[in-house]
Structure 1
Protein backbone atom coordinates (compact mmCIF):
# COMPACT_ATOMS: atom_id res chain seq x y z
CA UNK A 1 0.00 0.00 0.00
CA UNK A 2 1.69 3.13 -1.20
CA UNK A 3 -0.15 5.52 1.05
CA UNK A 4 -2.72 5.65 3.78
CA UNK A 5 -6.30 5.02 2.70
CA UNK A 6 -8.78 7.87 3.16
CA UNK A 7 -12.02 7.23 5.03
CA UNK A 8 -14.73 9.86 5.08
CA UNK A 9 -15.85 9.68 8.65
CA UNK A 10 -18.74 10.54 10.95
CA UNK A 11 -18.04 9.07 14.38
CA UNK A 12 -21.65 8.40 15.49
CA UNK A 13 -22.34 6.35 12.34
CA UNK A 14 -22.43 2.63 13.08
CA UNK A 15 -21.55 1.73 9.45
CA UNK A 16 -18.47 3.97 9.67
CA UNK A 17 -17.40 2.26 12.86
CA UNK A 18 -17.82 -1.17 11.25
CA UNK A 19 -15.20 -0.17 8.69
CA UNK A 20 -12.91 1.17 11.41
CA UNK A 21 -13.14 -2.07 13.35
CA UNK A 22 -12.35 -4.18 10.29
CA UNK A 23 -9.43 -1.90 9.41
CA UNK A 24 -8.04 -2.25 12.94
CA UNK A 25 -8.36 -6.03 12.84
CA UNK A 26 -6.47 -6.04 9.54
CA UNK A 27 -3.83 -3.64 10.84
CA UNK A 28 -4.66 -0.97 8.27
CA UNK A 29 -4.10 2.74 8.83
CA UNK A 30 -6.82 5.15 7.76
CA UNK A 31 -6.65 8.87 7.18
CA UNK A 32 -9.95 10.10 8.57
CA UNK A 33 -11.71 13.03 6.94
CA UNK A 34 -14.68 14.09 9.00
CA UNK A 35 -17.99 14.78 7.30
CA UNK A 36 -20.56 16.44 9.57
CA UNK A 37 -23.89 15.06 8.43
CA UNK A 38 -25.78 17.33 10.80
CA UNK A 39 -24.27 20.34 9.03
CA UNK A 40 -25.07 18.77 5.62
CA UNK A 41 -21.41 18.58 4.63
CA UNK A 42 -22.20 15.35 2.77
CA UNK A 43 -24.20 17.45 0.28
CA UNK A 44 -21.24 19.60 -0.70
CA UNK A 45 -20.53 19.58 -4.43
CA UNK A 46 -17.05 18.13 -3.92
CA UNK A 47 -18.41 15.19 -1.93
CA UNK A 48 -21.25 14.57 -4.40
CA UNK A 49 -18.68 14.27 -7.19
CA UNK A 50 -16.87 11.66 -5.11
CA UNK A 51 -19.98 9.78 -4.02
CA UNK A 52 -23.29 10.67 -5.73
CA UNK A 53 -25.18 8.83 -2.98
CA UNK A 54 -23.54 11.25 -0.51
CA UNK A 55 -23.16 8.65 2.22
CA UNK A 56 -20.55 7.75 4.79
CA UNK A 57 -18.46 5.74 5.04
CA UNK A 58 -16.72 6.43 1.75
CA UNK A 59 -13.25 5.00 1.17
CA UNK A 60 -10.49 6.00 -1.23
CA UNK A 61 -7.75 3.43 -1.74
CA UNK A 62 -5.06 4.70 -4.13
CA UNK A 63 -7.66 6.45 -6.27
CA UNK A 64 -10.28 3.69 -6.06
CA UNK A 65 -13.49 5.04 -4.49
CA UNK A 66 -16.02 2.76 -2.80
CA UNK A 67 -18.89 3.41 -0.40
CA UNK A 68 -21.39 1.38 1.64
CA UNK A 69 -19.90 -0.18 4.76
CA UNK A 70 -20.59 -3.76 3.69
CA UNK A 71 -18.93 -3.24 0.30
CA UNK A 72 -15.95 -1.53 1.96
CA UNK A 73 -15.49 -4.24 4.59
CA UNK A 74 -15.60 -7.08 2.08
CA UNK A 75 -13.20 -5.22 -0.21
CA UNK A 76 -10.69 -4.59 2.57
CA UNK A 77 -10.69 -8.21 3.70
CA UNK A 78 -10.40 -9.60 0.18
CA UNK A 79 -7.51 -7.25 -0.63
CA UNK A 80 -5.62 -6.96 2.65
CA UNK A 81 -6.68 -9.86 4.86
CA UNK A 82 -4.04 -12.46 5.69
CA UNK A 83 -6.78 -15.09 5.64
CA UNK A 84 -10.49 -15.34 4.92
CA UNK A 85 -11.67 -15.82 8.51
CA UNK A 86 -13.75 -12.63 8.57
CA UNK A 87 -15.20 -13.15 5.08
CA UNK A 88 -14.96 -16.82 4.08
CA UNK A 89 -13.95 -17.82 0.56
CA UNK A 90 -15.91 -21.08 0.83
CA UNK A 91 -18.89 -20.39 -1.43
CA UNK A 92 -21.57 -21.63 0.95
CA UNK A 93 -20.13 -19.85 3.97
CA UNK A 94 -19.66 -16.68 1.93
CA UNK A 95 -23.25 -16.91 0.70
CA UNK A 96 -24.46 -17.15 4.30
CA UNK A 97 -22.26 -14.24 5.31
CA UNK A 98 -23.57 -12.16 2.40
CA UNK A 99 -27.15 -13.03 3.31
CA UNK A 100 -26.60 -11.76 6.86
CA UNK A 101 -24.98 -8.59 5.52
CA UNK A 102 -27.92 -8.04 3.16
CA UNK A 103 -30.28 -8.60 6.11
CA UNK A 104 -28.47 -5.82 7.94
CA UNK A 105 -28.61 -3.51 4.91
CA UNK A 106 -32.16 -4.29 3.79
CA UNK A 107 -33.99 -5.06 7.04
CA UNK A 108 -32.25 -3.81 10.16
CA UNK A 109 -30.74 -0.51 9.06
CA UNK A 110 -33.85 0.79 7.22
CA UNK A 111 -35.89 0.22 10.40
CA UNK A 112 -33.29 2.16 12.39
CA UNK A 113 -33.26 4.95 9.81
CA UNK A 114 -37.06 5.22 9.70
CA UNK A 115 -37.35 5.51 13.45
CA UNK A 116 -34.51 8.02 13.62
CA UNK A 117 -36.17 10.15 10.96
CA UNK A 118 -39.42 10.04 12.94
CA UNK A 119 -37.68 11.28 16.10
CA UNK A 120 -35.05 13.69 14.83
CA UNK A 121 -36.67 15.19 11.73
CA UNK A 122 -40.43 14.70 12.03
CA UNK A 123 -40.76 15.80 15.63
CA UNK A 124 -41.89 12.44 16.97
CA UNK A 125 -42.86 12.53 20.63
CA UNK A 126 -42.93 8.79 21.24
CA UNK A 127 -41.78 5.53 19.71
CA UNK A 128 -45.01 4.09 18.39
CA UNK A 129 -45.91 0.43 17.96
CA UNK A 130 -45.93 0.71 14.17
CA UNK A 131 -42.22 1.59 14.43
CA UNK A 132 -41.22 -1.06 16.97
CA UNK A 133 -43.22 -4.00 15.58
CA UNK A 134 -40.96 -4.33 12.49
CA UNK A 135 -37.92 -4.22 14.77
CA UNK A 136 -39.23 -7.03 16.94
CA UNK A 137 -40.05 -9.03 13.81
CA UNK A 138 -36.41 -8.62 12.77
CA UNK A 139 -35.28 -9.75 16.23
CA UNK A 140 -37.26 -12.97 15.76
CA UNK A 141 -35.29 -13.63 12.58
CA UNK A 142 -32.01 -12.96 14.38
CA UNK A 143 -33.03 -15.40 17.11
CA UNK A 144 -33.62 -17.98 14.37
CA UNK A 145 -30.19 -17.30 12.86
CA UNK A 146 -28.67 -17.97 16.28
CA UNK A 147 -30.90 -20.92 17.20
CA UNK A 148 -28.09 -23.46 17.07
CA UNK A 149 -25.03 -21.37 16.24
CA UNK A 150 -22.79 -19.10 18.33
CA UNK A 151 -22.36 -16.59 15.49
CA UNK A 152 -24.37 -15.44 12.50
CA UNK A 153 -22.41 -17.71 10.15
CA UNK A 154 -22.32 -20.89 12.19
CA UNK A 155 -19.20 -21.29 14.30
CA UNK A 156 -17.37 -18.57 12.40
CA UNK A 157 -17.03 -14.99 13.62
CA UNK A 158 -17.34 -12.80 10.52
CA UNK A 159 -17.96 -9.24 9.43
CA UNK A 160 -21.67 -10.06 9.56
CA UNK A 161 -21.40 -10.21 13.36
CA UNK A 162 -19.62 -6.85 13.45
CA UNK A 163 -22.08 -5.03 11.18
CA UNK A 164 -25.25 -6.46 12.68
CA UNK A 165 -24.10 -5.97 16.28
CA UNK A 166 -23.36 -2.29 15.64
CA UNK A 167 -26.76 -1.68 14.02
CA UNK A 168 -28.48 -3.54 16.83
CA UNK A 169 -26.72 -1.46 19.48
CA UNK A 170 -28.72 1.54 18.22
CA UNK A 171 -31.95 -0.32 17.47
CA UNK A 172 -32.33 -1.44 21.08
CA UNK A 173 -32.87 2.17 22.16
CA UNK A 174 -36.15 2.10 20.23
CA UNK A 175 -37.06 -1.54 20.80
CA UNK A 176 -35.28 -2.98 23.87
CA UNK A 177 -34.30 -6.63 23.85
CA UNK A 178 -36.23 -8.88 26.25
CA UNK A 179 -34.49 -11.65 28.18
CA UNK A 180 -37.41 -14.07 27.81
CA UNK A 181 -37.67 -13.60 24.03
CA UNK A 182 -34.18 -12.62 22.89
CA UNK A 183 -31.82 -14.63 25.08
CA UNK A 184 -29.80 -15.89 22.11
CA UNK A 185 -29.27 -12.37 20.78
CA UNK A 186 -28.19 -11.13 24.20
CA UNK A 187 -25.73 -14.01 24.58
CA UNK A 188 -24.42 -13.40 21.06
CA UNK A 189 -23.86 -9.67 21.73
CA UNK A 190 -21.79 -10.62 24.76
CA UNK A 191 -19.88 -13.10 22.61
CA UNK A 192 -19.09 -10.37 20.07
CA UNK A 193 -17.76 -8.15 22.88
CA UNK A 194 -15.51 -10.96 24.06
CA UNK A 195 -14.29 -11.87 20.58
CA UNK A 196 -13.17 -8.32 19.73
CA UNK A 197 -11.41 -6.91 22.80
CA UNK A 198 -11.68 -3.35 21.47
CA UNK A 199 -15.33 -3.60 20.33
CA UNK A 200 -16.55 -1.62 23.33
CA UNK A 201 -13.99 1.10 22.57
CA UNK A 202 -15.66 1.63 19.20
CA UNK A 203 -19.23 1.27 20.39
CA UNK A 204 -20.14 1.83 24.05
CA UNK A 205 -19.73 5.61 24.16
CA UNK A 206 -21.67 6.12 20.94
CA UNK A 207 -24.40 3.68 21.94
CA UNK A 208 -24.89 5.53 25.23
CA UNK A 209 -24.79 8.93 23.54
CA UNK A 210 -27.36 7.80 21.00
CA UNK A 211 -29.66 6.53 23.74
CA UNK A 212 -29.47 9.83 25.60
CA UNK A 213 -29.94 11.82 22.40
CA UNK A 214 -33.12 9.93 21.48
CA UNK A 215 -34.60 10.39 24.96
CA UNK A 216 -33.75 14.09 25.12
CA UNK A 217 -35.07 14.73 21.61
CA UNK A 218 -38.35 12.96 22.37
CA UNK A 219 -38.75 15.11 25.48
CA UNK A 220 -37.87 18.28 23.57
CA UNK A 221 -40.38 17.41 20.83
CA UNK A 222 -43.14 17.06 23.44
CA UNK A 223 -42.55 20.63 24.54
CA UNK A 224 -42.83 22.16 21.09
Structure 2
Protein backbone atom coordinates (compact mmCIF):
# COMPACT_ATOMS: atom_id res chain seq x y z
CA UNK A 1 0.00 0.00 0.00
CA UNK A 2 1.34 3.44 -0.94
CA UNK A 3 1.19 6.39 1.39
CA UNK A 4 -2.25 7.91 1.91
CA UNK A 5 -2.17 11.70 1.86
CA UNK A 6 -5.09 13.90 2.83
CA UNK A 7 -5.06 17.54 1.73
CA UNK A 8 -7.27 19.98 3.56
CA UNK A 9 -7.86 22.21 6.55
CA UNK A 10 -9.33 21.05 9.87
CA UNK A 11 -12.01 23.71 10.14
CA UNK A 12 -13.65 22.26 6.99
CA UNK A 13 -16.49 19.84 7.85
CA UNK A 14 -15.90 17.68 4.73
CA UNK A 15 -12.22 17.34 5.63
CA UNK A 16 -13.21 16.23 9.13
CA UNK A 17 -15.51 13.60 7.61
CA UNK A 18 -12.49 12.01 5.97
CA UNK A 19 -10.37 12.36 9.10
CA UNK A 20 -13.04 10.51 11.09
CA UNK A 21 -13.13 7.75 8.48
CA UNK A 22 -9.34 7.37 8.37
CA UNK A 23 -9.18 7.17 12.16
CA UNK A 24 -12.08 4.71 12.38
CA UNK A 25 -10.27 2.44 9.92
CA UNK A 26 -7.01 2.88 11.85
CA UNK A 27 -5.14 3.83 8.69
CA UNK A 28 -1.75 5.50 8.49
CA UNK A 29 -1.93 8.77 6.59
CA UNK A 30 -0.24 12.10 6.16
CA UNK A 31 -2.27 15.28 6.58
CA UNK A 32 -1.14 18.22 4.47
CA UNK A 33 -2.69 21.60 5.26
CA UNK A 34 -3.88 23.62 2.27
CA UNK A 35 -3.57 27.31 3.09
CA UNK A 36 -6.50 29.04 1.41
CA UNK A 37 -5.33 32.51 2.48
CA UNK A 38 -2.16 31.93 0.49
CA UNK A 39 -4.28 30.52 -2.35
CA UNK A 40 -2.53 27.14 -2.21
CA UNK A 41 -5.75 25.59 -3.55
CA UNK A 42 -5.26 27.63 -6.72
CA UNK A 43 -1.73 26.55 -7.49
CA UNK A 44 -1.04 24.61 -10.67
CA UNK A 45 0.21 21.67 -8.62
CA UNK A 46 -2.97 21.45 -6.55
CA UNK A 47 -5.31 21.92 -9.50
CA UNK A 48 -3.69 18.90 -11.14
CA UNK A 49 -4.87 16.91 -8.14
CA UNK A 50 -8.33 18.51 -8.12
CA UNK A 51 -9.44 20.86 -10.92
CA UNK A 52 -12.32 22.03 -8.69
CA UNK A 53 -9.62 23.27 -6.24
CA UNK A 54 -11.68 22.16 -3.24
CA UNK A 55 -10.80 20.16 -0.13
CA UNK A 56 -10.63 17.43 0.94
CA UNK A 57 -8.44 15.71 -1.62
CA UNK A 58 -7.19 12.19 -0.98
CA UNK A 59 -4.12 10.90 -2.74
CA UNK A 60 -3.69 7.13 -2.68
CA UNK A 61 -1.37 5.03 -4.84
CA UNK A 62 -0.96 7.90 -7.28
CA UNK A 63 -4.69 8.50 -7.66
CA UNK A 64 -6.52 11.59 -6.41
CA UNK A 65 -10.11 11.76 -5.22
CA UNK A 66 -12.19 14.66 -3.98
CA UNK A 67 -15.62 15.03 -2.35
CA UNK A 68 -15.70 13.76 1.22
CA UNK A 69 -18.61 11.38 0.66
CA UNK A 70 -16.89 9.66 -2.26
CA UNK A 71 -13.61 9.49 -0.34
CA UNK A 72 -15.18 8.00 2.79
CA UNK A 73 -16.95 5.32 0.76
CA UNK A 74 -13.76 4.56 -1.16
CA UNK A 75 -11.72 4.14 2.02
CA UNK A 76 -14.17 1.67 3.54
CA UNK A 77 -14.53 -0.26 0.28
CA UNK A 78 -10.77 -0.56 -0.11
CA UNK A 79 -9.44 -0.77 3.42
CA UNK A 80 -12.31 -1.78 5.71
CA UNK A 81 -11.89 -5.12 7.47
CA UNK A 82 -15.64 -5.50 7.04
CA UNK A 83 -18.50 -3.47 5.56
CA UNK A 84 -19.88 -2.16 8.86
CA UNK A 85 -19.16 1.49 8.06
CA UNK A 86 -20.60 1.22 4.54
CA UNK A 87 -22.83 -1.87 4.28
CA UNK A 88 -22.94 -3.91 1.08
CA UNK A 89 -26.54 -4.94 1.70
CA UNK A 90 -28.49 -2.97 -0.96
CA UNK A 91 -31.13 -1.58 1.38
CA UNK A 92 -28.75 -0.67 4.19
CA UNK A 93 -26.37 0.98 1.73
CA UNK A 94 -29.24 2.90 0.14
CA UNK A 95 -30.16 4.35 3.54
CA UNK A 96 -26.54 5.38 4.14
CA UNK A 97 -26.38 6.92 0.66
CA UNK A 98 -29.60 8.83 1.29
CA UNK A 99 -28.14 10.32 4.46
CA UNK A 100 -24.93 11.23 2.62
CA UNK A 101 -26.92 12.96 -0.12
CA UNK A 102 -28.99 14.71 2.56
CA UNK A 103 -25.79 16.05 4.06
CA UNK A 104 -24.36 17.30 0.77
CA UNK A 105 -27.63 18.55 -0.72
CA UNK A 106 -29.34 19.95 2.37
CA UNK A 107 -27.30 20.26 5.57
CA UNK A 108 -23.94 21.31 4.19
CA UNK A 109 -25.47 23.25 1.30
CA UNK A 110 -27.59 25.33 3.68
CA UNK A 111 -24.64 25.94 5.97
CA UNK A 112 -22.44 26.97 3.06
CA UNK A 113 -25.08 29.46 1.94
CA UNK A 114 -24.30 31.25 5.19
CA UNK A 115 -20.56 30.69 5.52
CA UNK A 116 -19.59 31.48 1.93
CA UNK A 117 -20.92 35.08 2.03
CA UNK A 118 -19.24 35.51 5.43
CA UNK A 119 -15.78 34.53 4.26
CA UNK A 120 -15.89 35.56 0.61
CA UNK A 121 -17.85 38.82 0.77
CA UNK A 122 -17.77 39.65 4.51
CA UNK A 123 -21.58 39.63 4.65
CA UNK A 124 -22.37 39.35 8.36
CA UNK A 125 -26.14 39.80 8.19
CA UNK A 126 -27.67 36.32 8.03
CA UNK A 127 -31.27 36.37 6.72
CA UNK A 128 -33.81 34.63 8.91
CA UNK A 129 -34.86 32.34 6.06
CA UNK A 130 -31.35 30.89 5.94
CA UNK A 131 -31.43 30.22 9.68
CA UNK A 132 -34.87 28.64 9.29
CA UNK A 133 -33.42 26.22 6.73
CA UNK A 134 -30.70 25.18 9.18
CA UNK A 135 -33.32 24.53 11.85
CA UNK A 136 -35.42 22.55 9.37
CA UNK A 137 -32.41 20.35 8.66
CA UNK A 138 -31.95 19.68 12.37
CA UNK A 139 -35.61 18.71 12.67
CA UNK A 140 -35.22 16.24 9.82
CA UNK A 141 -32.22 14.68 11.56
CA UNK A 142 -34.26 14.26 14.72
CA UNK A 143 -36.81 12.28 12.71
CA UNK A 144 -34.05 10.14 11.14
CA UNK A 145 -32.81 9.00 14.55
CA UNK A 146 -35.17 6.08 15.03
CA UNK A 147 -32.16 4.05 16.20
CA UNK A 148 -28.89 5.03 17.87
CA UNK A 149 -27.24 6.13 14.65
CA UNK A 150 -28.11 8.26 11.65
CA UNK A 151 -28.65 5.37 9.22
CA UNK A 152 -29.69 2.57 11.56
CA UNK A 153 -28.53 0.52 14.52
CA UNK A 154 -24.80 0.77 13.78
CA UNK A 155 -22.38 3.59 13.05
CA UNK A 156 -21.60 4.31 9.39
CA UNK A 157 -19.85 6.94 7.31
CA UNK A 158 -23.17 8.79 7.27
CA UNK A 159 -22.64 9.51 10.96
CA UNK A 160 -19.19 10.93 10.25
CA UNK A 161 -20.45 13.12 7.43
CA UNK A 162 -23.41 14.57 9.27
CA UNK A 163 -21.52 14.90 12.56
CA UNK A 164 -18.84 17.06 10.97
CA UNK A 165 -21.50 19.36 9.54
CA UNK A 166 -23.85 19.76 12.51
CA UNK A 167 -21.09 20.25 15.07
CA UNK A 168 -20.27 23.43 13.17
CA UNK A 169 -23.94 24.58 13.21
CA UNK A 170 -23.60 25.74 16.81
CA UNK A 171 -21.99 28.94 15.61
CA UNK A 172 -25.26 29.96 13.93
CA UNK A 173 -28.10 27.98 15.55
CA UNK A 174 -28.17 26.18 18.91
CA UNK A 175 -28.78 22.46 18.96
CA UNK A 176 -31.27 22.32 21.79
CA UNK A 177 -32.00 19.17 23.83
CA UNK A 178 -35.51 20.46 24.50
CA UNK A 179 -36.26 20.55 20.76
CA UNK A 180 -34.07 17.77 19.36
CA UNK A 181 -33.23 15.43 22.28
CA UNK A 182 -32.31 12.45 20.08
CA UNK A 183 -29.94 14.57 18.04
CA UNK A 184 -28.21 15.92 21.15
CA UNK A 185 -27.89 12.39 22.56
CA UNK A 186 -26.40 11.18 19.26
CA UNK A 187 -23.80 13.95 19.24
CA UNK A 188 -22.82 13.07 22.81
CA UNK A 189 -22.59 9.40 21.83
CA UNK A 190 -20.37 10.20 18.86
CA UNK A 191 -18.18 12.53 20.91
CA UNK A 192 -17.12 9.55 23.04
CA UNK A 193 -15.25 7.97 20.13
CA UNK A 194 -11.57 7.70 21.09
CA UNK A 195 -10.51 9.63 18.00
CA UNK A 196 -13.31 12.21 18.10
CA UNK A 197 -11.28 15.13 19.43
CA UNK A 198 -8.40 14.57 17.04
CA UNK A 199 -10.56 14.05 13.96
CA UNK A 200 -13.47 16.41 14.59
CA UNK A 201 -13.63 18.15 17.95
CA UNK A 202 -10.53 20.29 17.55
CA UNK A 203 -11.39 21.42 14.01
CA UNK A 204 -15.04 22.08 14.87
CA UNK A 205 -13.99 24.31 17.79
CA UNK A 206 -11.76 26.36 15.47
CA UNK A 207 -14.57 26.68 12.92
CA UNK A 208 -17.12 27.74 15.55
CA UNK A 209 -14.77 30.35 17.02
CA UNK A 210 -14.00 31.80 13.60
CA UNK A 211 -17.66 31.89 12.57
CA UNK A 212 -18.75 33.54 15.79
CA UNK A 213 -16.06 36.19 15.36
CA UNK A 214 -17.31 36.84 11.83
CA UNK A 215 -20.90 37.10 13.11
CA UNK A 216 -19.92 39.28 16.07
CA UNK A 217 -21.14 36.71 18.57
CA UNK A 218 -19.57 35.40 21.78
SS of the equivalent of 2:121 reads: coil
Q: Distance in 2 between matches of 1:110 and 1:213?
A: 19
Residue 204 of structure 1: how far off its partner (Å):
2.5
Kept in 2, the 8 Å contact 1:127–1:174? The answer is no
Structure 1 counterpart of 2:195, from 189, 194, 198: 198
Larger deviation, residues 28-37 vs 131-140 = 28-37
SS of the equivalent of 1:39 reads: coil
Structure 2 counterpart of 1:149, from 147, 155, 170: 147
TM alignment of 1:206-217, pairs within 5 A: 206-217=203-214
Residue 184 of structure 1: how far off its partner (Å):
1.1
Aligned residues: 217
Residue 84 of structure 1: how far off its partner (Å):
0.6
Match of 2:173 in 1: 175
TM alignment of 1:1-224, pairs within 5 A: 1=1, 3-146=2-145, 148-194=146-192, 196-219=193-216
Kept in 2, the 8 Å contact 1:179–1:186? The answer is yes
Give CA deviations for 1:69-124 in whole Å, capped at 9, x if unaligned.
11011001101110011111111000000100111111111111111123222323
Q: Which runs of structure 1 show a deviation greater than 4 angstroms over 4 or more consecutive aligned residues?
A: none
Give CA deviations for 1:151-174 in whole Å, capped at 9, x if unaligned.
111101111011101100112211
- List alignment gaps of at least 5 residues for structure 2: none
- List alignment gaps of at least 5 residues for structure 1: none
Residue 126 of structure 1: how far off its partner (Å):
3.6
More helix by share: 1
Residue 213 of structure 1: how far off its partner (Å):
1.5
The root-mean-square deviation of aligned C-alpha atoms, in Å, is 1.6
Q: Distance in 2 between matches of 1:204 and 1:78?
A: 26
- TM-score, normalised on structure 1? 0.91
**Could you say which structure has the larger radius of gyration?**
1
Larger deviation, residues 65-74 vs 3-12 = 3-12
SS of the equivalent of 2:30 reads: strand
Which structure is richer in relative contact order (CA contacts within 8 A, separation 6 or more)? 2
SS of the equivalent of 1:173 reads: coil
- TM-score, normalised on structure 2? 0.93
Kept in 1, the 8 Å contact 2:142–2:183? The answer is yes
Larger deviation, residues 166-175 vs 205-214 = 205-214
Larger deviation, residues 172-181 vs 162-171 = 172-181
